Every structure is written in structure tokens, then in C-alpha cells.
Amino acid sequence: MDITRLQLFLRIFAIGPMSAVFAAMLPVEVMDRIHRAIGLGPMPSGPIVEYLARSTSMFYAIHGMLLWYIASDLRRYRDLFRFYLWISLLFAAGLFLTDLSAGLPLRWTLAEGPIVGAFVAVIMVWFGHVSRTSRG
């Protein structure tokens, strides 16, 4: 696989987190319906809950935008991308531990941190291969 395919893959992936910007704008009533629909019961109310829901969504959107930007020139941003991948692994571990301590359903806990970690590990291997085989 060449660097162009990796760039395309990363940009396609980045669309998901970038779309979280729309979740940050959802009315609280819609957030509550989603919360119920995914089996978490009624969404707690209060300013901190709304703040955390919106700021987390914005964080994910920024994460996607950063990945989109880095993917534009992986040779130029090679060191930044490596750093990004390592902190993403730490983020995956943090998600897993947070999900466990928060008592989220097991399917959620296993579908978030471990999958993010595995995905990042695959990208690290792919990027390592591309970095060794490409000039620049």
C-alpha cells in the first residue's frame, strides 16, 4: 500500500469525528432521545452534563479536523503524525478505563477503547511500512 491510499483512508476516517460538530449543536431533548435509544436510560440533566456532551463532541470534531490536515502531507507531518498516533493509543486506553469505571455496558466498553486502540495500531504498522518504503 502506498502513501496516497493511506492518506485517502485517513481522510475518509476523519469525516466521522468531524461530523461530531453537529452533535454539539443538538437540542438537549434530542440528546436525551439518543441517550435512551442506545440503552442508557434518561440523560441526566444539568449544566455540567450539557457542557460535557457538547465539549466532547467539539473535541472529537477538532480531532477529525487535525487528522484531515495531517493526512494532507504525511511526509511533511511525519513526526507530528507519529506523535498523534501514540497519544491516540493513550486516548484509547483512557477511554477503556473511563468506560469501565463509569459502569458503561460491556458492549460499549469493548467497542470503544479496544477498537480505537486496534485501529490505531493497524495505522501505526501501515504508516511504518509506508515510511520505510517511500522516499521523501
Dump pLDDT digits (tens) for 38-54. Answer: 889 999 999 999 999 99
Residue whose C-alpha cell reads 504498522 in the numeric block: 125
Write down the pLDDT at residue 133: 81
Write down the pLDDT at residue 89: 97
Write down the pLDDT at residue 135: 58
* Residue pair 68/14 in contact by the 8 Å Cβ criterion: yes
* Residue pair 76/100 in contact by the 8 Å Cβ criterion: no
Q: Locate the domains of the chain by residue range.
A: 1-72, 74-136
CA distance 102 to 121: 25
* Residue pair 67/119 in contact by the 8 Å Cβ criterion: no
Write down the pLDDT at residue 97: 98
- Residues in the chain predicted with pLDDT less than 70, given as ranges, are 1, 135-136
Report DSSP state, residue 84. Answer: H
For residue 86 the three cell numbers come to 501514540
- Sequence-distant (6+) residues with CB within 8 A of 110 are none
* pTM, 2 dp: 0.86
